[in-house]
Amino acid sequence: SLTGLPVTLKILQNWVPRVSHYFDKEHYTYVGHQIVIQESIEHFGAVVWPGALALSQYLESNQEQFNLKDKKVLEIGAGTGLLSIVACILGAHVTATDLPEVLENLSYNISRNTQNLNMHKPEVRKLVWGEGLNEDFPVSTYHYDFILATDVVYHHGALDPLLATMVYFCKPGTVLLWANKFRFSTDYEFLEKVCNIFNTTILAEFPESNVKLLKATVRKN
């Protein structure tokens, strides 16, 4: 069940006109920093999707409600790394994860945009949803304050492992922030599963982009 009334927002045009002629560079401004993202046309995970823009904007505007400073943050399906970079600028200890084939571009974007800043050095790691979680991220060692996920739900076959991954990392005290463009019935079916497992609130909706931003926490027994 969903609680609370979401605010209705618009994704602001936070990107800057391109100075370069390369097709693969996008320039954004968040939290007073210009962020340059290299996209790749080879992988789904290598393009900036609207959910990442929505959650980046929301975290920038709601720093009192969601204070990331010195918090441990895990992004699953980090893609180009835009959101992880924003979380870094906001002072978090960030671990950005994705599939092996996306990591090179992800690492490039994150190191390029955070190297000269006085902040916690972000980490980039492989994470295949539902696979090797206990081995790679043992519960005894890894506890995250925030799990970030954007546009991880679309027409793919890994929705059950994705849900299992969210459940694995969401411990008592962890806040899952998930922003997604809702396109298909499968997206709403996944949302229903999330609502059945977690305490879920829709924080914001971006109607023009069909993006919903949700907060989920573990239910207290």
Candidates 26, 80, 217, 50; CA nearest to 150 is: 50
Q: Determine the pLDDT at residue 78.
A: 96
What is the per-residue pLDDT for 4? 66
pLDDT of res. 44: 60
Average pLDDT, integer, range 1-10 = 73
Asked whether the predicted pLDDT for residue 119 surpasses 90, the reply is no
**How buried is residue 85: exposed, middle or buried, by Cβ count under 10 Å (0-12/13-18/19+)?**
buried
Query: Among 24-33, 55-64, 124-133, 138-147, which stretch is predicted with the lowest mean pLDDT?
Result: 24-33
Residue 101 three-state SS:
helix
Q: In the chain, what are the domain boundaries?
A: 45-218
pLDDT higher than threshold 90 for residue 182: yes
| pLDDT tier, 6 (very low <50, low <70, confident <90, very high otherwise) | confident
**Is residue 19 very low, low, confident or very high in pLDDT (cuts 50, 70, 90)?**
very low
Q: Is the pLDDT of residue 20 over 50?
A: no
Whole-prediction pTM value?
0.90
Confidence (pLDDT) at 211: 95
Structure token pair of residue 118: 């006085």
Which class would CATH give 45-218? alpha beta
* pLDDT recorded at residue 26: 85
Q: Is the pLDDT of residue 152 over 50?
A: yes
Integer Cα distance of 215 and 221 in angstroms: 19
Contact 37, 111 (CB under 8 A): no
Residue at token pair 């399906």: 77
| pLDDT at 206 > cutoff 50 | yes
pLDDT for the residue numbered 42: 65
Q: Supply 199's token pair.
A: 């305490």
Say which amino acid occupies 89.
I
Mean pLDDT of 191-200: 96
